[in-house]
Amino acid sequence: MEGTQDARAVRRETVPAVPAALSQALEAIGAGAYVVDERGCIIAVNAGAEDVLGRSADDLLGYDAHDLLHRGPKGQPLPRSQCAMRQAFHDGRPAQADEDYFALADGTVRPISWLITPYDTGDHQACTLVVFHARQDGQETGPRPVPPEPALAELERLALLAEATAQLTSTLDIEDAMQRLTVLVVPRLADWVIVDLLTERDEVWRAVVVHADGETLTHHEDLQGPMPPVLEESLMPLSRALRGVASTVTGPETYHRVPDSGIAVEQRRLFDTTGMHSAAIAPIRGTREMLGALTLGRAEDPVPFTTADLPLVEDIARRAGLALDNARLYQRQRKVAETMQNHLLPQMPGVPGLQMTARYLPAPDASQVGGDWYDAFPLSDGATALAIGDVVGHDLEAAAGMAQVRNMLRAYAWAQHEPPSRIVERLDEAMEHITDVDMATMIYARIEVLEDGHWQLSWTNAGHPPPLLISQDGVARYLDAGHGVALGTGLRTSRPDAEVVLRPGSTLVLYTDGLVEDPGHIIDVGLNRLRRHAAALVHRPLAAFADQVLHRVRPTDNDDDVALLALRAPA
């Protein structure tokens, strides 16, 4: 928000054009006046209001009038449950008060008197007119209207909202968020809770219908499922809430009229089946779009909802909207990442006589893909290339960098018949100029069968954890030779090569640091853990060996992704 505009208020994306007749009518009023739409957002204002409030029309139009203007006598934000004007707005009834306070542009408040009444703008919208004027010091004041008492005391309400904030914003799973929302509101506020969600294809899905019988919660899946579309012209409470128009207190009598849409028919069935005699319905809004509607209903509880309850229901729905918005954004990102992962991580090539398998575990709290990678592919001279690497980071940017490095390595390895050290030197030189990768570690190796039938491994290590070799009889050792600096350091030192002949039945493990790095411990602790478990598991089939190594060795509190490549020489 720019300038001195109040940071508590959020402006609507678009403000509808004001009919000339409405502007003329407001200017004819001899006091400050503005009109709000069904959401309580200001859609028209006169010059008198600009003068009294010290704000231009542009500083008023599109903003929620309560959030922007309504204050306590010391300038403190006024809770909606304590705002007489807001209650009258929800009730759709005329009201007036001789003593209240509006916020000015400079942050001070001005005592005002106001009158509010439903107003027909001629375009079939349910609008409200507010007329007000500044009070002078010492002016006589009449009785101040007292809003209906909400069902919860203010301290209980604040405690519930604090709990809702903590519970709903600490999950990125939609089903978990809905379960937490259900536990929050029933049976504390109602004995029925219904959540209708708008899908990304603008369809309505009744996701939650739960009844609280004491402390026992029963899910009514027969009432859940797809719903008819939302009609723009429908005036029924649920349709209005799903369009983000307004919160409403309603009952079965509303839906026993002639239905104006398919949703109204489903709502009649809901009231008839559940026996609800009163319900409060509020929109669930995200930061960019409408997400759905929250309905709280009472059947066993004889006390009906009133408009005094709506601010609390709205506050809970707002927090649910934030949780759902975050969860949907996370799911979209995860789907993109999973799709990228499926395209980036290769299938193992078939090499006669040699067993190979690979595993990838994403970072638990990241985007389900990252900078860790593995590769295995045939070379033009008949050998097989093996690679394991880690590009700094574990997000989509790291995954993109990983793809660049892997593809460049494949090109160099296929075209150049050179030892692994020289291939990696070429890759390091090129990486600085034609990729976005700052730093990476990797092992590049080639494996080929000798004339006597044994398999020979040659490799170079660019700052990566060493390979682990386990003999068939369970003797495990790290291959520490061939170690050089990481890629991207700018150091142009000569890289060493190393060789080893694999004994029959021996198992080689290439892995990334997420398998052995344990926060709070030196890496030697993780390396020893990997060596011990790999030696104990070497008799397992290779696929089971890889699964169990990941399960037993990876630290439970590690937030890094893990790649593992294992191969076994024929016995």
Element containing residue 564 per DSSP (H, E): strand 562-568
State the pLDDT at residue 437: 83
Task: Spell out the CATH class of 154-333.
Answer: alpha beta
Rg of the chain taking only CA atoms, in angstroms: 33
Is the pLDDT confidence value at 108 over 70? yes
- Average pLDDT of 44-71? 91
Q: Where in the chain is the domain with CATH 3.60.40.10?
A: 345-568
- Average pLDDT of 143-149? 49
Q: The tokens 């028209």 sit on which residue? A: 44
pLDDT tens-digit map of 261-295:
999 999 999 999 999 999 999 999 988 889 999 99
65: left (phi over 0), alpha (psi -120 to 50) or beta: alpha
State the pLDDT at residue 395: 62
Question: Which of residues 108 and 121 earns the better pLDDT score?
Answer: 108
Mean pLDDT for the chain?
Answer: 87
Share of the chain above pLDDT 70, in %: 89
| Ranges of H-type helices in 212-251 | 237-242
**From 11-25, 294-308, 547-561, the region with the lowest mean pLDDT:** 11-25
476: left (phi over 0), alpha (psi -120 to 50) or beta: beta
- Average pLDDT of 469-486? 96
Is the pLDDT confidence value at 375 over 60? yes
DSSP 156-173: HHHHHHHHHHHHHTT---
Question: Which of residues 157 and 348 earns the better pLDDT score?
Answer: 348
Dist. CA 566–CA 386, nearest whole Å: 10
Confidence category of residue 338, pLDDT binned at 50, 70, 90: low
CB under 8 Å to 86, separation ≥6 — which residues? 40, 66, 70, 80, 147, 311
Is the pLDDT confidence value at 81 over 90? no
DSSP state of 395: S
- Average pLDDT of 290-315? 93
Q: Which CATH number fits domain 345-568: 3.30.450.20, 3.40.190.290, 3.60.40.10, 3.40.190.80?
A: 3.60.40.10
Q: Where in the chain is the domain with CATH 3.30.450.20?
A: 20-134
Dist. CA 437–CA 262, nearest whole Å: 55
Confidence category of residue 148, pLDDT binned at 50, 70, 90: low
Cα dist from 446 to 344, 410, 449, 487, 563, whole Å:
21, 12, 10, 19, 18
Task: Spell out the CATH class of 20-134.
Answer: alpha beta
Which runs of E-coded beta strand occur in 353-467? 355-361, 372-378, 384-391, 440-449, 455-462
Side chain identity at 47, as an amino acid letter?
A
State the pLDDT at residue 559: 73
Question: What's the token pair of residue 203?
Answer: 């369809």
Q: Where in the chain is the domain with CATH 3.30.450.40?
A: 154-333
Confidence category of residue 39, pLDDT binned at 50, 70, 90: confident
Question: Which of residues 257 and 557 earns the better pLDDT score?
Answer: 257
State the pLDDT at residue 43: 92
Is the pLDDT confidence value at 245 over 60? yes
Confidence category of residue 152, pLDDT binned at 50, 70, 90: low
For 76-93, the three-class secondary structure string (H helix, E strand, C coil) is CECCHHHCHHHHHHHHCC
- Average pLDDT of 419-435? 91
Residue 49, classed as helix, strand or coil, is: helix
Pick from 521, 526, 81: which is nearest to 308 by CA?
Answer: 81
Side chain identity at 337, as an amino acid letter?
A
150 close to 128: Cβ distance less than 8 angstroms = no
Q: Compute the 3-state secondary structure of the chain and give helix, strand, coil in percent, each to the nearest 5.
A: 35, 30, 40
